[in-house]
Amino acid sequence: MARFDIPDGWTMQAYRFALDPTPRQQPVLRSHCGASRFAFNHMLALVKAVIDQRSAERSYGISETELTPSIGWSLPGLRKIWNQRKHEHAPWWAENSKEAYNTGLDGLARSLDNWTGSRTGRRAGKPVGFPRLKTAARSRRSVRFTTGTIRVEPDRHHIVLPRVGRLKTHESTRKLARRVEAGTARILSATLAQDSRRRWYVSFQTLVTVKARPGHARRSPHPVVGVDVGVKADALLVIAAPDGCEVARVRAPKPSTAMQARLRVLQRRAARQQGPYDPVTKTRRRPSKRWQATTARIARIHGRAAAVRRDVLHKITTELAQQYQVITVETLNAAGMRSAGGARKKGLNRALADAALAQVRQMLAYKTRWYGSILVEADRWFPSSKTCSGCGGRKPSLTLADRVYSCESCGLSIDRDRNAAINLARLGETRLSRVGEQGCAGSGSVPGRGAIRKSEPARAGEAGGRETSTPSQLWLGSAGTASPQGEAA
C-alpha cells in the first residue's frame, strides 16, 4: 500500500484525549463502530465465498479463464464492490459517515495483504492466518476519520468529527490547539475508539514541525550510555557509561503486581456469577448484570495499571532522549520470552508483561528523532550479559538466578545488569565512531541488527579496576539533571 511521505522539517505525532459523550451521542459512536465491523465482515464473507467457489471449480477441471472472476483485495477494489452492494445489503448505510465503512474495508485490505505477504515470505515474523469475522463482544470498537470536518474547538474542551458532531473532551486540548493555531501542526486524521473500560478516546494523527530539545533539558556529562532493561523491582532500567560508571538505576513501578490482590477478589467473584458461557451445556448465554458490573471493575483496574506503566515509561524515555547523545538498547524478543513455560513460568511471564520491556525501545525510536539523539539497537544475539566488562571474556551460560557476574579470567565481580549496561554503552560508542568515520553522524536511529548472527564482543576499554559501584538513583536525576517532565505523546 502507498505510504505517506513526511515533508522535510516535519514529523508525525499523535495526541490522545479522553471524551465525555452525552447519552444521545454514545449510540451514534457505537453505530459508527458497528458499521465498520459490518463492512469488514460482509466483504470478508464475499472474498471467502469467491475463493471457495474458484477452488471448487478448479477441482471440476474448469480452466482458469472460465473461473469465477476474482475480487481485488486492495482498498479501492473493495470500496468499489461495497458501493455496488451497500444499497441492497445495508439499506441503513446513510445513517453513518462513509468513513466508518472505509475503516472496515481498510482493515480488511491490510489483513488480506498481511496474509498474502506471510504466505509468500514478504512479511517477516510469525505466520499470519486468514482474516476472521469480527464479533461485537470481542472486537475493539474503533473508527477512523480522514476527510470532512475534523477540528479542535477554540474553547479547548470540544472537538468536531464528521457526522458525529461536537463532542466534549474530558481533558483540555490546549497542547494541540495552540500548535494548530500557530500553524506548527496540521491534523491528518482522527481515530475514535473505546477501550476495555468502556471509555471513549479520540487520537489525532498530526503533522508537526520538527521538535527541538527543550532549553531546560541539560545534557548529561556522559554523552554515550547503555540501557539494560529488566524485571526486578529495583532495576527496570540500569543506565551506565562506557567507562564503567553507573549513571542511574530506575525502579520498576509494577502496577499490575500492586493490584493483584484486588484482581484476585474480583476475578473469583466473576467466576461465581453467571457469565456469557455455560460450562454445563457448553453454549453461550446472556450474562447477568452483576457479572457485567464485576468485569467492568476488572477492566478499570487493568486500565489503571496500563496508564501508570505508560506514564512512567514516557517520562523515563523522554528524559533519556533529551539528556544523552547516544543511547544503546537491546533488541529483545519480548513476545518469544513469554511464549513457553506453562504454569511453572507464569510468575516470570507476568513480570515480563508488567515491565513492558518492548515499549522502552519503541518510545526511544521516535523520541530520539525528536530531540536529535542517536539510538543504537544492539543485535538480538549480542551477548551483553555474558560478556565481562573488565576483560572482554565471555561466559558460555548465565541463568536468570545469577544476579552477580563473576569473571573467571580477571576475577571481576559486578552486578549483572550493570555489566550488561556497560557493554551496551561500549557498543554504542563503537557504532558512533563508525558512523563518524563514514561522515553520516547526526540525529536519527542507527540500527544495530547486523547480517551476522554472532556479534563481535564488546570493547573492554579502560574500565578495568574502576568497577566500584556508584550510589544508585531511583530516577534519572543522578547527574545533576532536572526532574522528569511530562510528555504529551
| 449 neighbors 379 (Cβ within 8 angstroms) | yes
| 378 neighbors 448 (Cβ within 8 angstroms) | yes
Q: Closest by alpha carbon to 425, among 219, 227, 138, 140?
A: 227
Q: What are phi and psi of 426, to 5 degrees?
A: -70, -30
The residue from 106, 319, 354, 417 that is catalytic is 417
Cell reading at 86: 451497500
**Cα(46)–Cα(34) distance, integer angstroms:** 18
| 226 neighbors 422 (Cβ within 8 angstroms) | yes
Interstrand relation of 277-278 and 374-378 (parallel, antiparallel or unpaired): unpaired
Question: What does the radius of gyration of the chain's CA atoms come to, in whole angstroms?
Answer: 26
**Cα(243)–Cα(28) distance, integer angstroms:** 60
Paired strand residues for 413:
406
| 111 neighbors 131 (Cβ within 8 angstroms) | yes
> Counting beta carbons within 10 angstroms of the beta carbon of residue 284, is it exposed (0 to 12), middle (13 to 18) or buried (19 or more)?
exposed
Q: Scanning the structure block, which residue is given the C-alpha cell 559501584?
A: 469
Active-site residue 155, yes or no? no
**Cα(244)–Cα(464) distance, integer angstroms:** 8
**Cα(309)–Cα(381) distance, integer angstroms:** 27
The CA-atom distances, in angstroms, between 47 and each of 40, 78, 105, 199 are: 11, 9, 12, 34
Taking residue 387's Cβ as centre, other Cβ atoms within 10 Å add up to: 25
Active-site residue 228, yes or no? yes
| 83 neighbors 25 (Cβ within 8 angstroms) | no
| 392 neighbors 460 (Cβ within 8 angstroms) | yes
The residue from 99, 330, 429, 467 that is catalytic is 330
The residue from 106, 228, 354, 377 that is catalytic is 228
Is residue 55 helix, strand or coil?
Answer: helix
The dihedral through the CA atoms of 283, 285, 291, 292 has a sign that is positive
**Cα(267)–Cα(303) distance, integer angstroms:** 15
3-state SS of 170-195 is CCCCHHHHHHHHHCCEEEEEEEEEEC
Q: Scanning the structure block, which residue is given the C-alpha cell 475534523?
A: 150
Known catalytic residues are 228, 330, 417
